[in-house]
């Protein structure tokens, strides 16, 4: 396969995964006073045991200041809804949390990920295309220093958040010598300074990853299907992990493999 053919495949997979998966993702906000909030994290609605859960990274919950409240957006364009119940929580190395939430409004364009789409274990083949949608919390580029004035916040009664779809691959050959990384529990995924939005455009700067913690990671199964000589469609994709951290050097994001998210949140996903 030529580089041009590969890039065309990647563009097709990304576009189809965006159309398929964007309705599962929601931004998470944090507020310390009524009517005002800041972008705080990313999450998804999943079908758990006897309830619907908002799944996110554990530190999205643990880093809320005293008196602060988290909220999610079950209906785009409407008000954020406060998370009223304490989550099931798993600290690092799992770094996951799941809040029980009310059923999504009938008019909502968002959807709940059914249990059968949540993988039992991480099984992506080498070189597989991995996908996530996250909500960057700052109007900053990949390696900019965090500046509080650049955090996305309520302005004129609205908190504007923009979802970033990202198609990437696991990092091959990394020495994995990092105190936060456990190769048995985690997967490292490439998140460079710039990437193409489409085949015909030059690489554009990627946003700072802060705020994308809690994004679910999809194993698209494109490479697996392609190697088998079968037709691919986005409905073959499965949730394979949960994004919780980013590194600057090397340029990676880290995700917990889905089997450890499951074992860490047995009431929600077990």
In this prediction, residue 168 carries a pLDDT of: 98
Length of the chain: 270
Residue 255 lies in a domain: yes
The token pair that represents 68 in the structure block: 């602060």
pTM recorded for the entire structure: 0.95
The token pair that represents 17 in the structure block: 């995964």
Q: What is the CATH number of the domain that holds 66?
A: 2.40.10.120
Structural domain tally of the chain?
A: 1
Residue 189 lies in a domain: yes
Residue 246 lies in a domain: yes
Alpha-carbon dihedral sign for residues 14, 16, 20, 23? positive
In this prediction, residue 210 carries a pLDDT of: 96
The answer to whether 174 and 66 are in contact (CB under 8 A) is no
Residue 42 lies in a domain: yes
In this prediction, residue 226 carries a pLDDT of: 96
- Measured distance CA(54)–CA(56) in Å, rounded: 7
Close Cβ partners of 130 (under 8 Å, ≥ 6 residues apart):
124, 167, 168, 169, 170, 187, 189, 217, 218, 219, 220, 240
pLDDT in tens, the chain (270 residues): 788 899 999 999 999 999 999 999 999 999 988 778 899 999 999 998 789 999 999 999 999 999 999 999 998 778 889 998 889 999 999 999 999 999 999 999 999 999 999 999 999 999 999 999 999 999 999 999 999 999 999 875 668 788 999 999 999 877 677 888 999 999 999 999 999 888 888 999 999 999 999 999 999 999 999 999 999 999 999 999 999 999 999 999 999 999 999 999 999 987
In this prediction, residue 48 carries a pLDDT of: 86
Residue 96 lies in a domain: yes
Residue 269 lies in a domain: no
Domain that includes residue 9, residue range: 3-264
Residue 35 lies in a domain: yes
Residue 270 lies in a domain: no
In this prediction, residue 33 carries a pLDDT of: 83
In this prediction, residue 157 carries a pLDDT of: 62
The token pair that represents 194 in the structure block: 């710039």
């Amino acid at each position: 396969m030529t580089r041009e053919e590969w890039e065309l495949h990647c563009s097709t997979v990304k576009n189809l995964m965006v159309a398929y998966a964007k309705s599962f993702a929601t931004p998470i906000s944090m507020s310390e006073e009524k009517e005002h909030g800041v972008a705080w994290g990313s999450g998804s609605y999943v079908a758990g045991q006897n309830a619907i859960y908002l799944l996110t990274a554990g530190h999205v919950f643990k880093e809320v200041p005293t008196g602060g409240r988290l909220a999610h957006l079950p209906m785009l364009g409407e008000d954020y809804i406060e998370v009223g119940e304490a989550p099931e929580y798993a600290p690092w190395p799992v770094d996951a949390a799941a809040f029980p939430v009310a059923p999504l409004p009938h008019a909502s364009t968002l959807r709940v990920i059914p249990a059968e789409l949540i993988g039992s274990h991480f099984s992506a083949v080498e070189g597989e295309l991995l996908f996530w949608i996250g909500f960057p919390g700052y109007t900053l580029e990949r390696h900019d220093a965090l500046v509080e004035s650049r955090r996305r916040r309520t302005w004129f009664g609205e908190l504007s958040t923009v979802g970033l779809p990202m198609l990437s691959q696991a990092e091959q050959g990394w020495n994995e010598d990092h105190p936060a990384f456990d190769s048995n529990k985690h997967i490292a995924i490439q998140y460079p300074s710039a990437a193409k939005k489409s085949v015909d455009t030059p690489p554009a700067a990627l946003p700072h990853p802060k705020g994308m913690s809690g994004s679910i990671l999809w194993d698209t199964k494109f490479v697996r299907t392609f190697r088998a000589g079968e037709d691919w469609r986005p409905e073959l994709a499965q949730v394979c992990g949960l994004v919780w951290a980013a590194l600057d050097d090397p340029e990676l994001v880290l995700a917990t493999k889905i089997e450890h998210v499951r074992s860490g949140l047995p009431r929600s996903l077990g």
